[in-house]
Amino acid sequence: MAFGYTDAVSLTTIGAGAVTYIVGPVTGAAIGASSEVMALSIAAGLVKAIVVMVATPFVAPLIGLNNPRSAVIFGGLIGTSSGVAGGLAATDARLVPYGCLTAAFYTALGCLLGPSLLFFIMRGMIG
């Protein structure tokens, strides 16, 4: 909203892009967002993925990210498949499949809920 986007379609699309850079354009295409807004949603998702890739090796020892169970939980909480894959590969390559398993479900759930539930919530709040 700080950058002038005040309609529910734009805000939903950009918010869905913050989920992952895949969910943003899927949501935007489903609810009729402009290409500029979809580009912003992709940019938001890419920033998240890059931050996750860079930060994961540094925070892994602090959060106990050193076994398959914690990698599954990490992938499900963070969600961005490429960020999780890159971050876990830099931490311990054996953990990548475990984290990506739940990150894929996170993305799929976002593709289902972004254009439906998230849009209805935003339309109810904004009008």
| Tens-digit pLDDT string for the chain (127 aa) | 878 899 999 999 999 999 999 999 999 999 999 999 999 999 999 999 999 999 999 999 999 999 999 999 999 999 999 999 999 999 999 999 999 999 999 999 999 999 999 999 999 999 7
2 belongs to a structural domain: no
Number of domains in the chain: 1
**At 33, phi and psi to the nearest 5?**
-80, 160
Q: What is the pTM of this model?
A: 0.88
Q: How far apart are CA 5 and CA 7, in angstroms?
A: 6
3 belongs to a structural domain: no
65 belongs to a structural domain: yes
Domain that holds residue 29: 8-126
Distance of CA 49 to the CA centre of its chain: 8
Q: Which two tokens stand for residue 5?
A: 């986007």
Which residue in this structure is represented by tokens 């106990």?
A: 64
Q: How far apart are CA 97 and CA 100, in angstroms?
A: 5
1 belongs to a structural domain: no
pLDDT at 3: 80
Q: How far apart are CA 105 and CA 83, in angstroms?
A: 14
Q: How far apart are CA 52 and CA 83, in angstroms?
A: 5
89 belongs to a structural domain: yes
Q: Name the residue type at position 71.
A: A
Which residue in this structure is represented by tokens 């979809």?
A: 38
Q: How far apart are CA 93 and CA 85, in angstroms?
A: 9
pLDDT at 2: 77
Nearest CA to 44 among 55, 52, 54, 56?
52
